[in-house]
C-alpha cells in the first residue's frame, strides 16, 4: 500500500473528526500498527484542529461552571467520585451499625437474662425455703396442738419416764390412749443420739420387753406402735433401725404405769 497516498486521502481527517465509517476506522487502526508515519500524521492533524479550536474559544457564561461545581462537588460530588463504591460502603456501614447494635443488644439481653434468672433463682430458693419453713412450722404447730390436746385429754394415760442413774437429765413421756391403746412418745428432754444410733421404745408386758418402735426425728409427739397393755415403758439406745431385744446397758429412761 502506498501509505503516503493513504495519508493524503482525507481518511485521517475523517477519522479524527469522527466522520469515518466503522470499516474505515478498522482499516486505519490495522494500518497504524504497520506504519508509524500514519500515527504521526494523525497526531499532526489532531494538533492543528486543537490549535484552531483553542484559538477560536468562546467563553461560556460563568453560571455553567458554578452549576457544574455544584453538580460535581456539592450535593452529589461524593456520589460521582465514589460512584461505584458509595452504595456498598454505605450498605456496609449500615450493616455494621445493625450488627454492632445487635451485639450490644445481645450482650445486654444476656446480662439481663442472667440478672433476672439469678433473681428468679434466689426468689425461688427463698420461696421454697419459706414454704418448707412454713410447712415445718405448720406441722410443728399441729403436733404441738395435738400434744396439748393429748396432755389435756383425761382419757390419755400419761407415763413419765425418768433418767436412769448417770442419765438423770433425760426425760421422756409416753401418752397411752386408754380407749384405742395408741401409744405416743414425747421426748421431753433426751440427749442427742450419736451417729448410727436411734432411741427405741419398749413396753414391758408381763416382765418381757415388747418393741414399741424406734423414735424417728419427729416434732413434738411421735406416734408409736399400739400396745394393748403394759406395766412399764422404757427407752434404750439401739443401733439404727432398732433391735429385736433392748440393750439394757443402754437404757436411758424408764417409767412405770
Interface positions with other proteins (CB under 8 A): 8-11, 13-14, 16-19, 21, 29, 42-43, 45-61, 63-65, 67-69, 71-73, 80-81, 83
- Are 174 and 159 a contacting pair, CB within 8 Å? yes
In the 3-class helix/strand/coil scheme, how is 109-133 assigned residue by residue? Answer: HHHHHHHHHHHHHHHHHHHHHHHHH
Strand pairing partners for 161? 172
* Pair type for strands 156-163 and 251-256: antiparallel
DSSP, res 74: I
CB of 1 to other proteins, least distance (A): 17
CB of 15 to other proteins, least distance (A): 8
Instruction: For residue 39, give the nearest of 3, 5, 70 by alpha carbon.
Output: 3
Which of 8, 188 has the CB closer to other proteins? 8
CB of 24 to other proteins, least distance (A): 9
Instruction: For residue 232, give the nearest of 176, 166, 148 by alpha carbon.
Output: 176
Q: What is the dihedral of CA 23, 24, 26, 30, to 10 degrees?
A: 140
- A 10 A CB-CB count for 52 gives 9
Instruction: For residue 222, give the nearest of 195, 200, 253, 205 by alpha carbon.
Output: 200
Which of 25, 232 has the CB closer to other proteins? 25
CB of 119 to other proteins, least distance (A): 59
Which of 53, 195 has the CB closer to other proteins? 53
End-to-end CA distance of the chain: 151
CB of 115 to other proteins, least distance (A): 53
Which of 35, 205 has the CB closer to other proteins? 35
- Rounded Cα distance, 149 and 177, in Å: 12
Which of 12, 214 has the CB closer to other proteins? 12
CB of 110 to other proteins, least distance (A): 46
Amino acid at each position: 500500500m502506498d501509505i503516503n497516498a493513504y495519508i493524503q486521502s482525507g481518511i485521517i481527517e475523517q477519522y479524527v473528526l469522527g466522520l469515518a465509517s466503522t470499516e474505515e476506522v478498522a482499516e486505519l487502526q490495522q494500518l497504524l500498527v504497520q506504519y508509524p508515519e500514519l500515527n504521526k500524521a494523525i497526531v499532526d492533524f489532531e494538533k492543528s484542529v486543537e490549535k484552531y479550536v483553542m484559538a477560536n474559544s468562546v467563553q461560556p457564561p460563568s453560571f455553567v461552571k458554578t452549576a457544574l461545581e455544584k453538580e460535581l462537588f456539592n450535593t452529589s460530588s461524593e456520589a460521582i467520585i465514589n460512584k461505584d463504591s458509595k452504595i456498598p460502603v454505605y450498605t456496609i456501614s449500615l450493616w455494621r451499625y445493625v450488627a454492632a447494635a445487635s451485639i450490644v443488644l445481645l450482650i445486654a439481653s444476656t446480662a439481663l437474662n442472667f440478672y433476672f434468672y439469678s433473681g428468679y433463682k434466689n426468689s425461688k430458693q427463698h420461696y421454697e425455703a419459706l414454704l418448707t419453713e412454713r410447712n415445718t412450722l405448720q406441722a410443728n404447730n399441729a403436733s404441738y396442738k395435738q400434744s396439748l390436746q393429748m396432755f389435756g385429754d383425761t382419757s390419755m394415760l400419761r407415763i413419765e419416764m425418768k433418767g436412769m442413774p448417770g442419765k438423770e437429765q433425760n426425760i421422756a413421756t409416753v401418752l397411752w390412749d386408754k380407749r384405742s391403746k395408741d401409744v405416743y412418745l414425747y421426748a421431753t428432754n433426751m440427749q442427742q443420739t450419736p451417729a448410727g444410733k436411734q432411741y427405741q421404745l419398749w413396753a414391758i408386758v408381763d416382765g418381757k420387753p415388747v418393741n414399741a418402735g424406734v423414735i424417728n426425728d419427729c416434732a413434738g409427739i411421735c406416734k408409736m406402735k399400739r400396745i394393748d397393755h403394759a406395766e412399764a415403758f422404757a427407752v434404750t439406745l439401739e443401733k439404727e433401725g432398732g433391735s429385736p431385744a433392748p440393750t439394757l446397758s443402754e437404757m436411758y429412761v424408764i417409767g412405770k404405769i
